Amino acid sequence: MINTSTSLISDVIGKDAESSAFVYGFYSFMDKIANGVAIKIALNLYEKDEQGLKVIMGGLPIVCSVVCFGLTFLGKVLYSEKLARLSIGG
């Protein structure tokens, strides 16, 4: 999933080398915040329920992978020409 998101970010940045470090840095920062918040919420909700944590730890990556694949496929179908123009600079 991280490879897909990094690839999508590089497609959006294209050849704009001036802002690429900021975009990657901001993405990394927001990724760390989102993961920390999600882990804190999950631990607070299922602190005493081991089965709930097992379901989250086993099922959530699968669900995220399927959603990521679906969104990537949808983006390729709907926006492939636009992304190609962005990466070319036209």
Domain boundaries, the chain: 2-88
Between 61 and 87, the more confident residue is 61
| DSSP code for 37 | H
Global pTM?
A: 0.54
| DSSP code for 48 | S
**Residue-level pLDDT at 62:** 92
2-43 residue pLDDT tens: 776 777 777 777 776 777 778 788 888 988 999 899 888 888
Alpha-carbon Rg for the chain, nearest whole angstrom, is: 17
Give the long-range contacts of residues 72-80, CB within 8 A, separation 24 or more: 72/4, 72/8, 75/8
Between 2 and 73, the more confident residue is 73
Whole-number Å distance between alpha carbons of 24 and 1: 15
Average pLDDT over residues 52-77: 86
